[in-house]
Amino acid sequence: SGSSYQAESKTGVPTFYSHVVFCGTGKFTEVEFKQKCSDISVKISCRAGVDNLFFSMTAPRIVLKEAIELFGMLMSSPTFEKDKVRKIQNEIGYSMQNYAITPAETAFYTLAPALIFPSHIYKYGLHGNSEHFMKLSIDDLVKYKKKFLVIKNAEACICGNIDENEAVSLLNNVLRGIEKGEPAQDNIPDISPQLTPKITKYYVEGPQSVVIFILKNEKPLSSQKPAISILYRILGEHSSFKSKIMSELRTKQGLIYGGTIIPVDLNHANYAFGVLQTDNSKAQKAIESIKTIINKLRENGITPDELQFAKNNIKGTLLVRLRTSGELCQFYFGKMLDGFKTNALSDYLERTSKVTREEVNHQAKEILDEEKMSFILIGGNE
């Protein structure tokens, strides 16, 4: 139900829907609905991706019945208050055309997909063309809901102090106002990112630049994935100060304010999205330096200490993160969509523990190439 399953001119409907679904719900206005949720400490959210539309709810067990009623109402009865919908549409449209507002986010959702998937449906990104987006209507939202937000097109994950029978009952109550419908057909082919050494530049006025770079990755269930995850944690995932990006580019060379690697796993493509925040005057040097780091990782591999650091960091940050039912649900749901089973957490930790230095070094040679890194520079003096 994500953006890649829509017609080109309707690419932005899912993300538009995720932003305006709270603009009136059943008998409540937007303000009234939010107040109802706040009164019983319930958190309900909606977000869109290129593959799916996601709803989530976190609620105290003592108010679960009331929370489910509100959640079901949001799912089945959005009213799309016209004036508020138009205001949100204008805000999104403006941000799509102004890279300076959220440059990294714009690159992630729009510029990078267009660059690395030039002949694939993923090239339209999350929002599609801004001109098309501004022509979307409430009727488009209603049609989207009728076709895609149906029971046969849904997958769910429930996590908390609840048994299976009660979980099924609660889910049925959430979906009782939803049509049965038909599952959406997935005819999208798999694709690998098209990477070249070219630097694509977008001028933005101001003293700072954002450097984006794209690297290869593998599917979550592949046998190579654990070693690649460790490789990217060492390179810069999770913004650890012991990572190559932060220790070399920030601490030693003073070229960046911050930097990270974000693994991106889509239904039909996988890649790693890198971000460096820097000054205009240092942007080109930062690009040269990250290519040097990539070259050294490919040629020399990692050390035993780096391997142990990455394993400990991956396991430690994950287990610290998974301290609430909401975080646990997000983890398990993501793993479920990737094809893992209910033992996903123990499986993930075990697969991480078994990775050898030789496996990581092999993957470094396989997927890293400083001459095949696509770069996007937003900012600069040119």
Q: What CA–CA distance (Å, rounded) separates 144 from 52? A: 13
| Gyration radius of the chain's alpha carbons | 22
Task: Please give the DSSP secondary-structure letter assigned to residue 105.
Answer: H
Task: Report yes or no: 56 and 330 within 8 Å, Cβ to Cβ.
Answer: yes
> Model confidence at 230, in pLDDT bands (50, 70, 90)?
very high
Task: Compute the average pLDDT of residues 158-171.
Answer: 93
pTM of the model: 0.94
For the cut 80, the answer to whether the pLDDT of residue 233 exceeds it is yes
C-alpha dihedral (215, 220, 223, 224), degrees to nearest 10:
10
For the cut 90, the answer to whether the pLDDT of residue 97 exceeds it is no
For 172-190, the DSSP string reads HHHHTTS----PPP--PPP
Q: Which two tokens stand for residue 242?
A: 């012991």
> Model confidence at 197, in pLDDT bands (50, 70, 90)?
confident
Least confident piece of the model among 57-61, 93-97, 128-132: 93-97
Q: Which two tokens stand for residue 199?
A: 């630097």
Question: DSSP strand E in the chain: where?
Answer: 43-48, 53-58, 199-202, 208-216, 256-265, 270-279, 374-378
Q: What CA–CA distance (Å, rounded) separates 333 from 320? A: 18
C-alpha dihedral (277, 282, 284, 285), degrees to nearest 10:
-110
Give me the pLDDT at residue 239, please: 81
Task: Please give the DSSP secondary-structure letter assigned to residue 110.
Answer: I
Residues near 56 by beta carbon (within 8 Å), at least 6 away in sequence: 44, 45, 46, 326, 329, 330
Closest CA relative to residue 14, chosen from 5, 24, 31, 2: 2
Buried b (16+ CB within 10 A) or exposed e, 159-187: bbeeeeeeeeebbeebbeebeeeeeeeee
Written in H, E and C, the secondary structure of 137-150 is CHHHHHHHHHHHCC
Task: Report yes or no: 181 and 241 within 8 Å, Cβ to Cβ.
Answer: no
Q: What CA–CA distance (Å, rounded) separates 5 from 156? A: 20
> Model confidence at 158, in pLDDT bands (50, 70, 90)?
very high
Give me the pLDDT at residue 382, please: 57
Buried b (16+ CB within 10 A) or exposed e, 90-123: eebbebbeebbeebbebbbbbbbbebbbeebbbb
Task: Please give the DSSP secondary-structure letter assigned to residue 85.
Answer: H
> Model confidence at 176, in pLDDT bands (50, 70, 90)?
very high
What are 273's strand-pairing partners?
214, 262
Q: Please write the tens of the pLDDT for every residue from 19-77.
A: 999 999 999 999 999 999 999 999 999 999 999 999 999 999 999 999 999 999 999 99
- Tally the residues of the chain: 382
For the cut 80, the answer to whether the pLDDT of residue 359 exceeds it is yes
Give me the pLDDT at residue 100, please: 82
**CA-based angle 65:71:75, to the nearest 5?**
145
For the cut 70, the answer to whether the pLDDT of residue 325 exceeds it is yes
Q: What CA–CA distance (Å, rounded) separates 151 from 215? A: 37
